[in-house]
Amino acid sequence: MASKKTNDRKVIITCAVTGSVHTPTMSPHLPLTPDQIASDAIAAAEAGASILHLHARDPKDGRPSADPEVFMQFLPRIKQSTDAVINISTGGSSLMTVEDRLAASLRAKPEMSSFNMGSMNFALFPALDKQTEWKHDWEPKLLEATRSSIFQNTFADMEHTLSALGEGCGTRFEFECYDVGHLYSLAHLRDRGLVTGHIFVQFVFGVLGGIGADPENLTHMKRIADKLFGDDYSFSVLAAGRHQMPMITMAAAMGGNVRVGLEDSLYDGRGTLAKSNADQVRRIRAVLEALSLEIATPGEARELLGLKGGDRVAF
């Protein structure tokens, strides 16, 4: 499936189950505990998601966690209950060290991990204006800290991840590109032979510090990716908040894949909180089927992306 084809391929639905952006005060439906993350992930897979993008949270208070032991409380259960591809975040939280962010993937050796394509401002502090009271003291502190921090992903960091996780563990990557320059950085790594095989690019829109969630930016990102990677890549789109469904629908119509999940948006339609990740999966699945597009199975996603298979992970 090359990125330029539109009507003769199946669409991969990725579901990002919890992330590290939203906090418990923002929605009572955000999965926080290992049991909640596992249950929500399994339901999302049953609804049609072929890739599950996973973060962990501290079971005590819901703050983002990099602890591999927390991941191991839900990864085996998800693997035993569904055939979906498990994609472990190496982004973690923008406030974590690179070493912390890699720890779970190096322990679990998943089929796929996310890979952030450059250092950037990753600003969450505007969310402070939307709440006056918080369930936990850590929530406003974490959001405010993003005003003065940088999400670090240097070339040295990227080279290390490709070596330790890619070569060392057989893990392939979802390359998260928050701006056009990230595509050129990815092409640089490809040209050096550090990135090989079919490339899976996630265009990320609507994060303050990255490219805006404008239709013109999606067409531009795709045009540059086509120029750099030709037919040897596939793209997917995620968009933050209210931009989620319009942008990913446009992506699907342009030949792309889609990502939903409570990491990216807490809503299922205007003004209605999603009660589960599966709600968003069902919504985009209905849109895709109305566009006469077929949904990729986990097996079809594995074949396209050249994954090693669920029997070769360490959980």
Q: What is the pLDDT of residues 190-203, one digit of tens each?
A: 999 999 999 999 99
Whether pLDDT at 6 is above 70: no
Residue recorded with tokens 């510090």:
209
- Per-residue pLDDT of 256-282, as tens digits, reads 999 999 999 999 999 999 999 999 999
- Band (pLDDT 50/70/90 cuts) for residue 9 is confident
Residue 309 and residue 85 in contact, taking contact as beta carbons nearer than 8 Å: no
Q: What is the pLDDT of residues 111-132, one digit of tens each?
A: 999 999 999 999 999 999 999 9
What gap in Å lies between CA 54 and CA 112, rounded to an integer? 11
Contact by Cβ (8 Å): 31, 277 = yes
Token pair, residue 135, equals 């369930």
Q: Which residue has the tokens 């993937």?
A: 105
Q: What is the mean pLDDT of residues 59-72?
A: 98
27/242 Cα distance (integer angstroms)? 15
Q: What Cα–Cα distance (Å) separates residue 91 from each residue in 115, 132, 160, 180?
A: 7, 28, 14, 19
What average pLDDT does range 69-91 have in this prediction? 98
Share of the chain above pLDDT 90, in %: 96
